[in-house]
């Protein structure tokens, strides 16, 4: 218990240090863009595939359930609402932690283990500014961006199932959904969550890398912790945000 609290305290102190050393220089912006490529663009394959199949299975299940109540028309609404409000942001954040969060943790952890961070410090280059900050910002931007793409792909998956398997038409599928999804309450609510989850995923990934013990076991442990901690924190924050925003 005590140890857990100490860890949370250290993570908060780390975040404070990170923010106190934020610098906006062209060099930093370019490095952030590079990291957006590694964390964001390189995660597209997993996000696009998972999004499409989540859309497929969700539509299949809702059609099956709603047909029993004679409300199959509402399938697209159920799909869009559950995607925009819950599944899109949550699944994207957890997939992101597994795909990109781990690689950020391992990279920073290995720099710690091989004393690259100390070497930078000796050369009067602040590793917090040069290494941690771009990766943090890139993840913060990448998670909401990937969430939007996940949502879009899942809707495409839903349309694919509705049109080619159930024989519905696109117009009624999209029209039913459009009529009952609200911009502020549903879509932007979900995007707000995505920003919150992006913050968590970014923070935990760089923190566990930074605080990894300088051994190979230390790096392995830190990578595992990133995934576990992000998944737990995202699901808890999801409940808190839903409770407050609804």
Footprint on this chain of other proteins (rule: CB under 8 A): 30, 33-34, 36-37, 40-41, 44, 80, 84, 141, 144-146, 148-149, 151-152, 155, 174, 177-183, 186-188, 191
Nearer to other proteins, 113 or 131 (CB): 131
* Closest to 32 (Cα-Cα) out of 167, 145, 133, 147: 133
CB of 219: closest distance to other proteins in angstroms?
Answer: 23
CB of 17: closest distance to other proteins in angstroms?
Answer: 26
Nearer to other proteins, 37 or 53 (CB): 37
The answer to whether 35 touches 137, Cβ cutoff 8 Å, is yes
Nearer to other proteins, 80 or 212 (CB): 80
* DSSP for residue 124: T
CA angle, 86 then 133 then 10, to 5°: 75
* Closest to 135 (Cα-Cα) out of 28, 9, 25: 28
The answer to whether 230 touches 101, Cβ cutoff 8 Å, is yes
CB of 127: closest distance to other proteins in angstroms?
Answer: 21
CB of 185: closest distance to other proteins in angstroms?
Answer: 9
Angstrom distance (rounded) from CA 91 to CA 69 = 28
Nearer to other proteins, 180 or 216 (CB): 180
Nearer to other proteins, 44 or 120 (CB): 44
Angstrom distance (rounded) from CA 220 to CA 18 = 23
Cα–Cα separations (whole angstroms), residue 179 to 19, 136, 171, 207, 239: 42, 38, 12, 43, 26
Cα–Cα separations (whole angstroms), residue 14 to 5, 90, 135: 14, 25, 14
Nearer to other proteins, 158 or 209 (CB): 158
CB of 27: closest distance to other proteins in angstroms?
Answer: 12
Angstrom distance (rounded) from CA 75 to CA 105 = 40
CB of 172: closest distance to other proteins in angstroms?
Answer: 15
Nearer to other proteins, 15 or 33 (CB): 33
CB of 186: closest distance to other proteins in angstroms?
Answer: 7
* DSSP for residue 23: -
Q: What is the separation of C-alpha 237 from the centre of its chain, rounded to a whole number of angstroms? A: 13
């Amino acid at each position: 218990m005590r140890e857990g609290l100490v860890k949370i305290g250290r993570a908060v102190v780390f975040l404070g240090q990170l923010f106190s050393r934020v610098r906006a220089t062209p060099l930093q912006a370019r490095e952030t863009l590079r990291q957006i490529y590694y964390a964001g663009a390189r995660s597209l394959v997993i996000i696009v595939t998972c999004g499409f199949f989540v859309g497929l299975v969700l539509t299949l299940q809702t059609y099956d359930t709603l047909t029993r109540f004679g409300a199959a028309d509402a399938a697209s609404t159920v799909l869009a609402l559950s995607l925009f409000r819950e599944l899109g942001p949550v699944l994207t954040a957890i997939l992101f932690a597994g795909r990109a969060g781990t690689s950020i943790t391992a990279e920073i952890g290995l720099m710690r283990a091989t004393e690259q961070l100390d070497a930078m410090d000796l050369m009067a280059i602040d590793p917090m500014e040069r290494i941690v900050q771009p990766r943090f910002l890139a993840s913060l931007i990448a998670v909401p961006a990937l969430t939007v793409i996940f949502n879009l792909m899942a809707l495409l998956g839903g349309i694919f199932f509705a049109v080619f398997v159930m024989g519905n038409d696109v117009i009624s599928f999209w029209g039913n959904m459009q009529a009952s999804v609200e911009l502020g309450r549903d879509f932007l609510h979900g995007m707000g969550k995505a920003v919150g989850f992006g913050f968590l995923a970014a923070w935990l990934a760089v923190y566990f890398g930074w605080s990894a013990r300088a051994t190979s076991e230390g790096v392995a442990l830190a990578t595992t912790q990133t995934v576990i901690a992000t998944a737990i924190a995202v699901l808890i924050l999801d409940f808190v945000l839903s409770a407050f925003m609804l």
